[in-house]
Structure 1
């Protein structure tokens, strides 16, 4: 059975993986879901928490575990932290799995990938709040595709338990690290885009896929749903992770 570490995306803590972790453990896997620095529900000032802070914490979690063959699973913006950790300790990672996410090139921040209007909104909120954080609206009317499959109860959970995201994490440039990371098998579980579309982008050499394409062993898996499959298709996601973990 596999040693699986689950990394949540922005605004979420380890709790977001509960419905996935349970069937994984029932299948015999050793599962650890992490809450990255700045995403605990403590309301602390997050001004000094950046991508390096989160990566340090994730590397510490992995290196203190007995197993040296971790299956590192990351969702959404958590891929920045996970990929940076992979670049630091590739010898401790058996494979990396991106859930509706993927690695980005050296020097790229999440804010670089954000629409100008949304980036301006975020920066204005950060300036107004003064605690180094920004929120997500969780508005199904504004983001119907993102929230596809989310029940009203799930949406209420997300609204009440999500934590304002540390801005410095989103503003930090990705550091890709050791080239040995490219020898670690990489898997992409794509939800909002059809797997066939992602495969075509890989085949065409799309620059957005360049870092994932550089992995020596890689595969794409489709799980059609919204951006938070740990809620909308948790059982299927757990089954797919078990299949990938081997």
Structure 2
């Protein structure tokens, strides 16, 4: 008598937003994932909850610990999805518990290198980084695909990033983080350019060239695809999270 192979249980997707964002940023993507039968949890990281009286003093370690607490509460496999500046705390989690993450999916982002920081020269006196004016932000990251309603909601709901998070240099020591299967969803830069920059050792992408198992998916749009192309982003995440042989 032969046993019938069992379909593997779907992994829980943990959606981690980038700078100035909370769980709300994933609302549309999460709706599409749920409609497709996926299990998805969206996070608001420490320091990004406007109701937190200690918000401005939260640290990168606090953010990584919050992600790890959610992972520890899940009985089963986890796919960790990080957007933009979430690469700091997500990279820390991969360094600490690589065996608990079945796959990491970077959304217009990628793993941070040891010693990397978002704003290493930010003076200690600066308590927080507010969302810049959009003409300034647009020179730093593509706003393609965002209409006035998207921008108004972004401005209304954005929370200033804690200074200690922005200036912290990340400490990584576990090479096993590079063996976690990885998907890069490339939006504001095409995958071919990301690969070229990684091979050239560009500081933002050098770690990509050191990953053992990496795939790249092109999703042409701006830096905030959860608003400009939410359904396509959900499809890309769902595809990346599928069980592999």
Common topology (TM > 0.5): yes
Between the two proteins, the alignment pairs up a number of residues equal to 232
Q: CA deviation at 1:123?
A: 4.7
Partner-residue secondary structure (3-state), 1:77:
helix
TM-score of the superposition, structure 2-length normalised?
0.88
Tell me: CA distance 1:136–1:24, structure 2 relative to 1, closer, same or farther (3 Å): same
Given candidates 18, 29, 34, the residue that maps to 1:25 is 34
Q: 1:111 maps to what in 2?
A: 119
In structure 2, C-alpha distance between the alignment counterparts of 1:48 and 1:202, rounded to whole Å: 33
The answer to whether the aligner puts 1:3 opposite 2:12 as a matched pair is yes
Q: 2:128 maps to what in 1?
A: 133
Given candidates 60, 63, 74, the residue that maps to 2:72 is 63
Residues 190 and 220, structure 1, Cα contact 8 Å, conserved in 2: yes
Q: 2:53 maps to what in 1?
A: 44
In structure 2, C-alpha distance between the alignment counterparts of 1:83 and 1:142, rounded to whole Å: 24
In structure 1, C-alpha distance between the alignment counterparts of 2:71 and 2:130, rounded to whole Å: 28
Q: 1:225 maps to what in 2?
A: 221
Q: 2:97 maps to what in 1?
A: 89
In structure 2, C-alpha distance between the alignment counterparts of 1:138 and 1:194, rounded to whole Å: 26
Q: CA deviation at 1:136?
A: 1.4
Q: CA deviation at 1:156?
A: 0.7
Structure 2: unaligned runs, 5 residues or longer: 1-9
Q: CA deviation at 1:195?
A: 1.4
The answer to whether the aligner puts 1:78 opposite 2:73 as a matched pair is no
Partner-residue secondary structure (3-state), 1:71:
strand
Q: 2:233 maps to what in 1?
A: 237
Q: 1:116 maps to what in 2?
A: none
Q: 2:138 maps to what in 1?
A: 143
Residues 138 and 155, structure 1, Cα contact 8 Å, conserved in 2: no
Aligned-residue RMSD, C-alpha: 1.9
Partner-residue secondary structure (3-state), 1:220:
strand
In structure 2, C-alpha distance between the alignment counterparts of 1:43 and 1:139, rounded to whole Å: 26
Q: 1:171 maps to what in 2?
A: 167
Q: CA deviation at 1:240?
A: 0.6
Q: CA deviation at 1:138?
A: 4.2
Residues 191 and 224, structure 1, Cα contact 8 Å, conserved in 2: yes
Tell me: CA distance 1:203–1:47, structure 2 relative to 1, closer, same or farther (3 Å): closer
CA offset digits 1:99-124 (Å, max 9, x no partner): 11111211111114xxxxxx6xx659
Residues 186 and 212, structure 1, Cα contact 8 Å, conserved in 2: no
Residues 138 and 159, structure 1, Cα contact 8 Å, conserved in 2: no
